[in-house]
Every structure is written in C-alpha cells, then in structure tokens.
Structure 1
Amino acid sequence: MQFEPGAFAGELVSQMGTAGPERVDLFRHLAEKCTAQRAKVSMQVDGNSVAPDAPESWPENWRRVEIGLSKSPAMVNTESSEDNNAELQLWTRRFTGLVFALVPVEETSQSLIENAEGLPEGSVLRVEVNRYERSRINRAACIEIHGAVCKACDFSFAEAYGPVGEGFIHVHHVTPVSMLGPDYTVNPCTDLVPLCANCHAIAHRRTPPFTLDEIRALRQGG
C-alpha cells in the first residue's frame, strides 16, 4: 500500500510536515506496531528516505512525501475468503491510521435542534459540532496501539464471543471530555484506553472517573 499526494497537494504535504507532537508520536507508535508484526513501513520526504520511528530526524518544510506499508508474507487462507478479507481489512486499517495520523483532519457532525429559541414553531436549526472527542481515527488508533483487550480486567470480547467480538472494545477517555478545552488534540497513546463495557461503566461511576489502578483495586475488593 502506498500513499503519495499529487502535484496539487502542496499545502496538505506542508501541514503533514508540521503535524503536532501528539500526531507525530501517534504515527511513530503505529509504525512500531506494524514493524513488530513483521510489516515494513517506508517513508520518503522530498525524495529522501527517513526513519518512520525516528521523527526527530525528519526534515522541515516538506514538499513531497511518500508513505508505504508492505506485509509479506500475508496470513492468507486459500480456503476461507472471510480470513482473507479480515487480513486485508486489518492492514488497510493500519495503513489508513498511519496516513491520517499526520494528515490534518477535523471530524464534524451535524445536529438538528427542533423549535430552537427565537425561531418559528416547528422550525429546525442545523448545528455543526466539532467531534474531536469521538474521532473514529483516534478510536481506531487507540485499539491498534493498546489492543482490543480491557486494560483493567483483561477481558476480551473475541475470546468470549468468537469472531463477532473480534476487535470490539470500548474506548475510554482518561481525562473526561468535559474537561478538555476546545483546542485540545487527543493523543490516542496517552489520552485513550480500551476498557470492557463493565469496567467502562464503573470508571464513570465517579467524577472524575476512576483510574485503571483504582478499578483493578475495586475488582480485588480493595
């Protein structure tokens, strides 16, 4: 898989080169995760190869960038198209995570408010809301980095429910969303953690939420 922006993507490439430390750290973590599973992550900036896991060595003022991911041999089961599709989706998701870790992306959603104050009866007001706290990219990155096993009790939906539970887990904000400022950039490495439904519910039984260590202590009767 290869990501190579075209000739008219100069501004995009420039912004990728000035990504904040949280996004760069996320890229490094994802690259290390891929490498640990025998995949090769390649990266070129302005025609020169750079180390994906050493952002301190990256040049400034990017004009061109190429990001590649190769996995050989891939785990392919010729007798099961489902296994093949799952393998392809896994590495496609990881490659997409690598790219979007550096690409400036802001996820938005639109909410509808009926009978908003000051508008006629039955009217609808459309409001665009910043949804950084629910970013699908950050959620996927958290699971890729930390895995889909509860960090508090080691519960695995895949082990309990089979294939239907594969990759499923709740993602918990270590710092409540309500306490994050509007300009805060969520770091999936440190700000998000995978929890099962039970531990996630317990975490929010208190404000501020229980920490991982406190949830573990509660499970042990502490």
Structure 2
Amino acid sequence: MSNIDVFNILNKLQMNYDVNLEVKNLSPLEIRPTDLEKGEGFMLRLMIDWRSISAEFIPDNFSAKLIQTMGRTTNKNVFNVIARKVLEDQKKIDMKINHKDVSPISSTLWDDHWSLMELKVENHNIIVNEKTVETIEDKLFDVGNDLLGLILSLLPLDYSRDIEFELLPEGAVSRVKVNKYERSPANRQACIAIHGTVCKVCEFDFESMYGRELGKGYIHVHHLTPISEMGEGYIINPTTDLVPICPNCHAMIHRRNPPYSISDLKSIIRSNKIYK
C-alpha cells in the first residue's frame, strides 16, 4: 500500500455516497464511517494479493444491533440490484448469513433474523505485479465502492446525521433535529447499476468527456416522483423511480413545480435544435 494514494480512495468513496469516512489503518487498508459509534459500526478492509484485490466487511465487536438492522431491512431488492451489477463486472461476492453461505442475488431465501453477516467482494481478473500504481488504486476503489454500496443498501440511513439505527425508506422523515426527507446513497448506486451514468435527457457522458479518473461514475440521480410527494413508508424502486441525469438537465427539470418530465425536457431540447 506504500505507493497507493489511500486518501484519494477515501475522498472518492465519501463523495460517491455522501458519508463521512476515516482511514483507520494503512496495512491492511481499513476505512470506517466516522458517524457510527466506535465498537458498534464496521470497517471496510481493502487487500491486495498478487492475483486479486478485495474489500471485506469487518463488523465491530459490539455490532449486533447493526447486523440485526441489516437483516430487518425491506430494501434487500436494492442489494440484489447492486450485487448483480458486481457479478456482471466479473467480480466475486462471498456472503454468509448466520454462518451459512447465501446467494447475494437471492434475498428471498435469506434468514430474516441475523446474528452474523460476512461479506466480501473480490476482483480476480488482475495480476497485480503487471499493473501500474494508478490501475491498482482504481481497482481498490472499485471493490471498496461495490462493498460500501452493498452495505449501505442494507442500512438505508442518512449517515451524516446523529440518528439511531432505524429502517428509513427513501422519503422517510428524520425525527432528529429537523424534519427533512432523506435520500439513500445505496438507491443512487442501484440506479447507476441499472441505468448507467449517461444522462437520460441529453445523453451527456462525464467519463467520455472528462476521462475515467475525473468523470467516471459522476451523474445526478433524479426522483421521478418528487420526494415531497412520497409518503413516509414509500419504498423506492430504483428501476422505475430513479433515472440518471446530468446537473444541467436536473436544474432545468426543476425550473417549474411540478417538475418537467424526462420526455418534456427531451422535447424542449429537440425543438430548440430544430429552430436553430
């Protein structure tokens, strides 16, 4: 890890999920959320072997409540969506619930009451000695990003606030400090896994324009049903409720209330191209 910019990995994870993280250890690289009580949260352990790069979920010693909350979530469909995308990218997911091997894409077969959960994402399609430092760093971020998305999908919380472990579906109102509709970062990741990162309105692609290092994964996610109209128990379906759009189109969609639809904005763009 000596030549790896671990803080670049940390910052990209924080930006991607809007969570506060810290580097706990450098060898092996261990990253943890800072807003969870120490001893009751978890770490991401990122490892480099000569033929693989992996990220592993490491629960703290007193994380029973965390594990139980994961097992009770109603958002397991989001986990399945992200897991399918990880597997499609030729990575491996090892998962155990209560010491039993389980399929990460078959949540209907999982036990509902969890006392233990093990989760690991591995990329075996790599020979580390043949890769540059930048490539290895990129692969480390990829597996860490996949693992964090999977974990957060089981804990649909706003990690940036001091709240208890509660199931908070998308649109749930926080009962702490302020009444504010919360957005789940895992729902964003599931939307990207399903729909990609190309704008659904104007087809702008940040990675194509700005390159992999700067542009990969950057996109806004738009709620087709405004959050203000969602009931407290509304559960997001990332396939039908969310779409990726660029910041410009996102701003234009919200220039009126109710917002423009995706097809409305496409029509406006086409009309302006015709008349120019």
Matched positions, count? 204
Distance 1:166 1:76, change over 3 A: farther
- Aligned residue for 1:148? 197
- Aligned residue for 1:208? 258
Matched, 1:221 2:275: no
CA distance in 2: counterparts of 1:33 and 1:60, whole angstroms: 24
CA distance in 1: counterparts of 2:229 and 2:107, whole angstroms: 30
Q: 1:32-53, CA deviations, whole angstroms, 9 ceiling, x for partnerless residues?
A: 0000110111211111111111
Q: 1:63-115, CA deviations, whole angstroms, 9 ceiling, x for partnerless residues?
A: 111111111113869564223222211221111111111135333459xxxxx
Which of 66, 91, 116 aligns to 2:143? It is 91
Q: Which moved more, 1:38-47 or 1:28-37?
A: 38-47
Q: TM-score, normalised by structure 2?
A: 0.64
What fraction of aligned residue pairs are identical, expressed as a percent? 37
Gaps of 5+ in 1: 111-126
CA distance in 2: counterparts of 1:129 and 1:109, whole angstroms: 10
On the 8 A contact 2:156/2:184 being kept in 1, the answer is: no
Q: Which has the larger radius of gyration?
A: 1
Matched, 1:31 2:80: no
Alpha-carbon deviation of 1:18? Answer: 0.8
Secondary structure at the residue paired with 1:8? Answer: coil
Alpha-carbon deviation of 1:140? Answer: 4.1
CA distance in 1: counterparts of 2:150 and 2:63, whole angstroms: 18
Alpha-carbon deviation of 1:178? Answer: 2.5
Secondary structure at the residue paired with 1:201? Answer: helix
Secondary structure at the residue paired with 2:126? Answer: coil
Distance 1:185 1:108, change over 3 A: farther
Paired letter, 2:141: Q
Which of 64, 69, 72 aligns to 2:116? It is 64
Matched, 1:177 2:227: yes
Gaps of 5+ in 2: 1-54, 163-175
On the 8 A contact 1:108/1:129 being kept in 2, the answer is: no
CA distance in 2: counterparts of 1:45 and 1:86, whole angstroms: 29
Q: 1:107-149, CA deviations, whole angstroms, 9 ceiling, x for partnerless residues?
A: 3459xxxxxxxxxxxxxxxx93466535544434433443221
CA distance in 2: counterparts of 1:39 and 1:135, whole angstroms: 24
Q: Which moved more, 1:55-64 or 1:29-38?
A: 55-64
Alpha-carbon deviation of 1:181? Answer: 4.1
What RMSD, in angstroms, separates the aligned Cα atoms of the two structures? 2.8
Matched, 1:159 2:213: no
CA distance in 1: counterparts of 2:127 and 2:200, whole angstroms: 27
- Aligned residue for 1:197? 247
